[in-house]
Amino acid sequence: MGAYLTRRILQAIPLIFLISMFSFFLIRASGDPMSMYGQSTSISAEDRDRIIKAYGWDKPIIVQYFYWLRDMLQGDMGTSLYTFQPVSEMILQRLPNTLILMGTAFTLTLLIAIPTGLYAAVHQYSIFDHFSTGCSFIAFAFPTFWLGLIAIMLFSVKLQQWGLPYLPAGGMYDLAKEKSFIELIKHLLLPASILAVTSTASYIRYLRSSGLDVIRSDYIRTAYSKGLSKNTVNWRHVFRNAMIPLVTLITMDIPLQFSGALITEQVFAWPGMGRLFVDHAARADYPVLMGLVFFISILVIFFNLVADIVYGFIDPRIRVS
């Protein structure tokens, strides 16, 4: 196991280098950082030239990349061109908020998807199977931003108009009230539920398909031929082996949620990393964008390694060598 982990980590180093290089070139080509000063009449041409030289923007793009890489290897992710804050501090400020939103959404997703998908597989073509499959297709087809706007209209605007208890339309806390756990839960319900809808739909489909593949396997027929009961076969063989594709899905989904939640965070004004990316992408604030992309790249590679390790614990047939 130690040799395997060492080999995978060594393989990840050139991969991270290539990802950071291509990301830097694409982000720098997406906009001009000096555009934020374009409408300012207080900045002269000399000031613009001084700013360009101070940030090294007069150098070739490859030289700018190696400047960024040098600072990154020293633990310096750069400084925002807009807020003038260190990028690492900005990410650490938003990271807990995104973790709260993601953790709640993932908990809802797993609590609903795992029993629903596996039960639908065991009871194929039943009324429950048709109903859950149909709901999954419908939920997966709706855009996240549309679901978010509909949820705000129903549970925030309409319920308030009807004089019923309603949920906040956005934000993390009510500025007019004292911060509390109850206030956080109230603001969290809508964005977490909307974020969980699409994930739940895809997880149900994956688990149902995986469960059906396992049920049709030879070792399941062998287990029944030994006289094992249906419940024993389902718990010991079907459910455990059907979870293997879910491990891949979860480990790939977790790092992508840090950036993929940007639509939900934008709709509900949730102060997380996704909203941070959107806000600074519009300003061509490439140090912040590079910091977020690099952070997410590290997470993707790390969770891929975690998936390989977890496989060996779920399925004894899989051995890490």
pLDDT-based confidence at 140, cuts 50/70/90?
Answer: confident
Over residues 145-185, the pLDDT tens digits come to: 888 899 999 999 999 888 888 888 888 888 777 888 888 89
Residue 229 lies in a domain: yes
- Helix-, strand-, coil-residue percentages of the chain, each rounded to 5: 75, 0, 25
b vs e for 8-42, b when ≥16 Cβ sit within 10 Å of the residue's Cβ?
eeeebeeeeeebbeebbeebbeebebeeeeeeeee
As given in the structure block, the two tokens for residue 38 are 């374009």
Band of the pLDDT at 258, cuts 50, 70, 90?
A: low
Query: How many domains does the chain fold into?
Result: 1
AA identity, residue 168: P
**What is the pLDDT at residue 155?**
92
Contacts of 32-36 spanning 24+ positions with Cβ under 8 A = 32/284, 33/57, 33/81, 33/284, 33/285, 33/286, 35/284, 36/81, 36/82, 36/283, 36/284
Is this prediction's pTM over 0.75?
A: yes
Q: Tell me, what's the pLDDT at 132?
A: 92
Angle 144-152/181-215 helices, nearest 10 degrees?
140
Asked whether residue 132 is assigned to any structural domain, the reply reads yes
In a domain, 87, yes or no: no
Domain that holds residue 143: 96-270
Average pLDDT of the residues of the chain: 83
Residue whose structure tokens are 């990154």: 72
Other beta carbons less than 10 A from residue 75's beta carbon: 7
Indicate whether 200 belongs to any domain: yes
In this prediction, residues 8-15 reach a mean pLDDT of: 82
CB atoms within 10 A of CB 267: 22
Structural contact between residues 289 and 25, judged by C-beta atoms closer than 8 angstroms: no
What's residue 318's pLDDT?
58
Amino acid in position 166: Y
Reduce the DSSP state of residue 86 to 3 states and report it.
Answer: strand
What local confidence, expressed as pLDDT, does residue 153 receive? 92
Half-sphere exposure of 156 (CA within 13 A, CB side): 17
CA 270 to each of CA 154, 249, 276: distance values in angstroms, whole numbers, following the listed order = 19, 25, 10
pLDDT in tens, 301-321: 888 777 777 766 666 565 555
Cβ contacts of 227 within 8 Å, gap of 6 or more: none
Buried b (16+ CB within 10 A) or exposed e, 48-69: eeeeeeebeeeeeeeebbeebe
On whether residue 301 sits in a domain, the answer given is no
Give the residue from 250, 223, 212 showing the smallest Cα distance to 102.
250
Q: At 223, which CATH number?
A: 1.10.3720.10
User: Does residue 316 lie within any of the structural domains?
Assistant: no
CA distance 38 to 133: 52
Cα–Cα nearest to 273, from 292, 255, 286, 290:
292
Instruction: State pLDDT tens for residues 29-85.
Output: 877 777 666 656 667 777 778 878 877 888 888 998 998 888 888 888 888 888 889
Whether 279 is in a domain gets the answer: no
Q: Does residue 112 surpass a pLDDT of 90?
A: yes
Within a domain: 282: no
Beta bridge partner(s), residue 86: 79
Long-range contacts at 118-122 (CB < 8 A, ≥ 24 apart) = 118/207, 118/208, 118/211, 118/238, 118/239, 118/242, 120/204, 120/207, 120/208, 120/211, 121/207, 121/208, 121/209, 121/210, 121/211, 121/212, 121/214, 121/215, 121/238, 121/242, 122/211, 122/215, 122/234, 122/238
